[in-house]
Amino acid sequence: MQSRADGATFGHLPLFYSDGAQTHFRRSLNPAARWSYWNNNSTNTFATIKHAFDNGWQFDAAASHLKQSKDVLYGSAYNGYMNQQTGAGIRLLGGPLPTQARTDSANVAATGPFTLFGRQHELMLGAGYSRQDKDAQLHTSSLVAVPDYRLWDGVLTLPTQTRRADRDTTITEKGVSAAVRLRPIDDWSLILGARASWYKLYDYQVTVAGVRTVSDNLNESAKVVPYAGVVFDLNNTWSLYASYTDIFKPQTYYRDASDSSLDPLTGKSMEAGVKGEWLDGKINASLAIFKIEQDNAPQYQGINSITGGEIYRPIAGVTSKGVELETSGQLTPAWNVAGGYTFRTSHIPPQPNLILSAVNTNQPKHLFKLGTAYTLPAGWTVGASLTLQSETWYQLSTAARWRATQPSYAVVGLMARYQVGPRLSLALNVNNVLDKTYMPGMGSYGTGVYGDPRNALLTANFKF
């Protein structure tokens, strides 16, 4: 697979003027330089095998070899704070970033029933392995002042960049897992499981002068992550459930000021709720409460002027909790509906000697989604979707405490599909019908990105 993008950017639009006020740019403004490009190549070779045994057991195996290369010359004018009167204050960050990566992976799994104490239960076993070797040719990066960002048109000369080092990264992951679903009595199901992981990251650089330095040498052995769940069937319609699992997730992307990866994300996740189904499973609904506690959660701090990458700081005690309601199903043979509501809050305890912004504020406290489709006679299907969310915001983790806010907004979509024949169908999707201007993402690099304006997509689907 190949992709070619000219004028590509990894940064977005600055969120603040130099006086702390929130910026408001046109949606079509591209912070990328005209000479920037981002070209990707990837080839994936894979094989899978499945076998079902007569005794109800099933075996699955998969293996793949993924080869990737990236040729990038990035240039994005987003760094800094613009003076509203002069347009000065924004800098373009630019430089080459070529990389090559090879990933080999293999996974096996076996599931099946067994009998214990006269009752039938289920056992699930799995194992996996992956290794990624990544090479990067590191170059100097430059921060170049944009004379007047109000007149930004993507034209700015990038100083000559020189190769400064070669970076080699090897990530090896191994894991085995086992889970059992026990049915001690008719109305109860108990799920117990665990995964043991081995994770190794070795990352080093060799400068053009031949000096070798090790950035990361992380070795996590036999890290066990347990899981437990229970389901109680109240009747043929309703069931209660609860679950608990530990969290362990390596963070190779997030790096600190010394360009070393943050320690793995750890914590625990708990959930409990009720589920129901009607009309032989054609209509389903669920209500859940959840709580997630995390340590070493990454918080953005700024830009590394040497590498051009983001700088993050690990934060302890990040807690998120909330309620989630979902429903979906077929109200009639011709009418399908799916919807949901999520209420979520996050907080962190006070951190000594640190100035921190609130966490997860780019996620709305209230989120409502609704989608429906209705099949009409003569091969037509029409539908609509609505996404409604509450206010989100981003706040600098500095003494200034500047805040950028995205007020609550709604996005509406429409769809029409026509079944031309047994094999051919045509579909028209109109997104953001009301042409709402909004920022779905705030905070990355201290910037924001606008959502797509009103747009339409016509597709044809032909089945062979």
**Tell me: the pLDDT tens digits for 429-456?**
999 999 999 999 787 677 899 999 999 9
Residue 144 to residue 96: CA distance in whole angstroms: 15
Between the alpha carbon of residue 317 and those of residues 233, 267, 272, 295, 335, the distances in Å are: 35, 9, 21, 5, 45
Whether 221 contacts 237, CB under 8 Å = no
Select from 198, 233, 268 the last residue of a domain. 233
Q: Are 229 and 365 contained in the same domain? A: no
* Residue 254 lies inside a defined structural domain of this protein: no
**Tell me: the pLDDT tens digits for 56-75?**
999 999 999 999 999 999 99
Q: Are 39 and 187 contained in the same domain? A: yes
* Number of structural domains found in the chain: 2
The phi-psi region of residue 99 (left if phi > 0; otherwise alpha if psi is between -120 and 50; otherwise beta) is beta
Confidence at residue 396, expressed as pLDDT on a 0 to 100 scale: 80
Range of the domain at 388: 361-464
* Residue 311 lies inside a defined structural domain of this protein: no
* Residue 288 lies inside a defined structural domain of this protein: no
Q: Residue 33, SS3? A: coil
* Residue 444 lies inside a defined structural domain of this protein: yes
Residue 440 to residue 202: CA distance in whole angstroms: 35
* Residue 220 lies inside a defined structural domain of this protein: yes
CATH of the domain at 64: 2.40.170.20
Confidence at residue 264, expressed as pLDDT on a 0 to 100 scale: 87
| Mean pLDDT, residues 332-343 taken together | 95
* Residue 433 lies inside a defined structural domain of this protein: yes
* Residue 45 lies inside a defined structural domain of this protein: yes
pLDDT bracket for residue 399 (50, 70, 90): low
Whether 263 contacts 270, CB under 8 Å = no
Give buried/exposed letters for 8-24 (b at 16+ CB in 10 A, else e).
Answer: bbbbbbbbbbbeeebbe
pLDDT above 60: residue 168:
yes
Confidence at residue 37, expressed as pLDDT on a 0 to 100 scale: 94
Confidence at residue 354, expressed as pLDDT on a 0 to 100 scale: 52
For residue 317, give the nearest of 359, 357, 348 by alpha carbon: 348
pLDDT bracket for residue 400 (50, 70, 90): confident
Select from 233, 257, 281 the last residue of a domain. 233
Q: Is 0.75 topped by the overall pTM?
A: yes
Between the alpha carbon of residue 455 and those of residues 263, 303, 368, 402, the distances in Å are: 42, 34, 22, 33
Tokens 């509906």 belong to: 337
Lowest mean pLDDT among 76-85, 200-209, 354-363: 354-363
Confidence at residue 431, expressed as pLDDT on a 0 to 100 scale: 97
pLDDT bracket for residue 394 (50, 70, 90): confident
Q: Are 227 and 365 contained in the same domain? A: no
**Tell me: the pLDDT tens digits for 351-384?**
655 544 556 788 899 999 999 999 998 889 999 9
What percent of the chain lies above the pLDDT cut of 70? 96
- Distance spanning both ends of the chain, measured CA to CA: 23
Q: Are 227 and 376 contained in the same domain? A: no
Q: What are the structure tokens assigned to 187, written together?
A: 């109305």
**Tell me: the pLDDT tens digits for 280-295?**
888 999 999 999 999 9
CB-CB neighbours of 310 under 10 Å: 19
Confidence at residue 280, expressed as pLDDT on a 0 to 100 scale: 82
pLDDT above 70: residue 97:
yes
Select from 202, 233, 264 the last residue of a domain. 233
Handedness of CA 281, 282, 285, 286 (dihedral sign): positive
Segments of 140-237 assigned E as strands: 142-145, 163-182, 188-207, 212-233
Confidence at residue 374, expressed as pLDDT on a 0 to 100 scale: 96
For 181, residues 6+ apart whose C-beta sits below 8 A from its C-beta are 121, 122, 123, 124, 189, 190, 191
Say if strands 403-406 and 441-442 run parallel, antiparallel, or are unpaired: unpaired
Confidence at residue 142, expressed as pLDDT on a 0 to 100 scale: 87
* Residue 365 lies inside a defined structural domain of this protein: yes
